[in-house]
Amino acid sequence: MKISNTRVAITGFGGLDIPHAGASVARALRAGWQGSLTIDALVDDSAMTGAWQPGVVDTVTRIQSPLKGDEAFYASLINAQKKLGFNAFIPCLERDIAATARLADRLHKQGINTLVPNADKMAQLGSLTLASYLHQHHIAYPHSLIAHHLHEVAHYADHLGYPVLVKGAELELIAHNAEQVLRFSSAVLERDRRSGVLLQARIAGEAYSLVCLINQEGERVENLSCRKLAINSNGHSVCSSIIVSPELETQGLEIIKKLGTQGPITLDLIHPTGGSIYFLEGVKSCLPDWCMLAHWANKNLAVELLKLLTEPAIDRIISPSNRANDAPLLVRSITEDVVRLDDMQHLDRHGHINVTEMNNCQSPSNNSNTPIPIRGGLRVAVTGTSSFDLVNSGIGVARALRSASGDLHLIGLCYGTFDSGAYNKELFDVCFQLPVTKNENSLFERLKKIIKMQPIDVLIPCLDGEIPFFIKFADELRELGVHTLLPNLESFEKRSKTQLFSGMYKADQQGFIIPETISARNEDEVLAAVKRVGLPAVVKGPISFCVSVIDESQAKAAWHTLYYDGMKEVLVQPMISGPSFAVATVCNHKHEPLSMLTVKKLSLCPKGSTWRAMRLPQVELEAAFARFLKEIKWVGPVEGEFIRDEILDRFYLIEINPRFTGWIYYSATLGSNHPQQVVHTALGEEVTPKSDKTDLVFVRSTTELRLQPYQLASFSTKGYLHHNRIASDQMKGN
């Protein structure tokens, strides 16, 4: 019989764009557990954004990281257990699992049940020791080398060949040249000086994941396999599907038998093109971050693990797997919410908060500052719907618009089959594919076909590279009934990095400084520029990419990295140390900002996207930015990014993005709702926004979307996907 009140503690709610498994495990338990269940999130930092997702956990409690030592970790676990009363513990982060393995006997004596490999086994399966263990036990794996010093990295990578997978303790990257390897490895070695960097040859073939649950007696309780249909530049699966492959299962389970471990174990496997042997690319002693996919396939591995920890020992029968064509697919996406600043500070001060008792502040509809709603039936199209590698701002724009009006008809314009927004029926009613092409006429012809199938009243482009196209064809779109809110091409170029940092503007803008910048077109010019501005410095591409350098060798590597990425010119600036700020606004046709939203960025992923931020008004900065936008005659959404010099206490302008920022949904939760302002202004309506709230913190985390194979196939072949009857009927009518 099941325990009446099951309570489980889980770690691993961080990771940002490379998510730890904790939130996925918690969601799967919430979805599949039969009976009363309380989930306690254990975090070593309030920035663990996955723990703040509504409805996922019941409490959040601070514990010590194992990096502070096993005894500190143990003491904090015991204190948390005494306070919360959990008896089951599922660590979902490698360093937590390793520490738990060393402390397992002591934890068990204190009534904390867990299931992890023993300490010796964990040491053998670590990222820097795994290759040796696999070699000894005759398990096929990609050629791997370990570099403990930066000067070894490039040589090892050249030996393995490109692309090469570069792994740190928690981060990984698929690098395509030596400069990318050096840049990433430098960050890894600086972050974790006690370990090295693993470089692994990439094997051409299909990628799979096999997860197996082994009980305390070493018996297999359950296993499940999935195929990775799409992998981003971090080597992380963005789309996966459950499969049934006797060959994969046989070889995978044989590998697990040789590993001789217990608890949950996840294998990352590669099947070479034309080969018969599966190569083991990686091992994790925890459940995967696709636990919801297992739940949808009726094999909830998180539930099975919790049963092992809380129920008396019983014989469990391995159920037959679903047929692959009956199983759903998973698409990785992101979710955005807000948390009261008082609640986040409460966790920092007191080490614990009951999430279920927090004030519900996620719904912008509860905000009395919300402007006049968008009228029902309006049809708004949004581009930039992907979270494949970077989180495009179209997702936040759609979320903000949806919060303004449930009757709004939202149309997603996507550039990729695996754009996560295309499958989010809570955001979009219908989505269409646009061609990835430099031929403007082809793109416009596709748009005309879409508009014929699905009329559009307002279109909001959300990607830098496409905005010149929409500016150029704004009049033609208007003739088709499509309204936009965009600057002219001259204004668009005036805020570009090449003009912004060309010296044509005053350095001191009476509220912010435009930093000294030198343009360079070859390696010698880069080195000369670095000497002039001083070290450390930053080397930027004219449109995107920014590399920090601390010496001349890194400056050379930065130049070659950007050059190989197709940039013939770079910008060199002095490095400015301090917190990151951003100012978002929307300018009307008189070039006047409708409202200014300034945030301090609290958490950034390695690629620079904002995953946690709070509103922090800066009157002088906002006034100066407004004057600058008036000077360049800006129209439409825009974001200025700044760094506040921690010594001189001055703001330095880093770049101006000619579109909505990725965190713009935050504006809807505060009251001003910038995407809503764009729709009203594009239609010629007056907007008088009210002041924003200041007591909410923006948090972003990863989540999973469920879709059926036919949806992926339909979007890929037909070029559109509708999520409701109205959209379907409209397209049939046209």
**pLDDT score of 191:** 62
Phi, psi of 37 (to 5 degrees): -145, 130
Does residue 729 have a pLDDT over 50?
A: no
**pLDDT score of 102:** 96
What tens digit of pLDDT does each residue of 294-310 get? 999 999 999 999 999 99
**pLDDT score of 610:** 95
Residues 6+ apart with CB under 8 A from 592: 626, 630
pLDDT tier for residue 726 given thresholds of 50, 70 and 90 = very low
pLDDT tier for residue 565 given thresholds of 50, 70 and 90 = confident
What tens digit of pLDDT does each residue of 360-416 get? 555 554 444 444 556 668 999 999 999 999 999 999 999 999 998 778 999 999 999
* pLDDT (average), residues 29-42: 96
Per the CB < 8 A criterion, the answer to whether 287 and 266 are in contact is: yes
CA 226 to chain centroid, in Å, comes to 21
**pLDDT score of 725:** 44
Does residue 619 have a pLDDT over 70?
A: yes
Q: Is the pTM of this model over 0.75?
A: yes
Per the CB < 8 A criterion, the answer to whether 530 and 557 are in contact is: no
**Tokens linked to 6:** 């099951």
Q: Tokens 């099947």 correspond to what residue? A: 271
Residue scoring higher pLDDT (370 or 133): 133
First to last CA, the chain: 58
Residues 6+ apart with CB under 8 A from 43: 11, 13, 14, 51, 60, 61, 62, 63
Does residue 514 have a pLDDT over 80?
A: yes
Percent of the chain with pLDDT over 70: 92
Does residue 460 have a pLDDT over 50?
A: yes
**pLDDT score of 322:** 42
* pLDDT (average), residues 512-531: 94
Does residue 255 have a pLDDT over 80?
A: yes
447: closest CA among 474, 486, 428, 429? 474
Mean pLDDT of the residues in the chain: 90
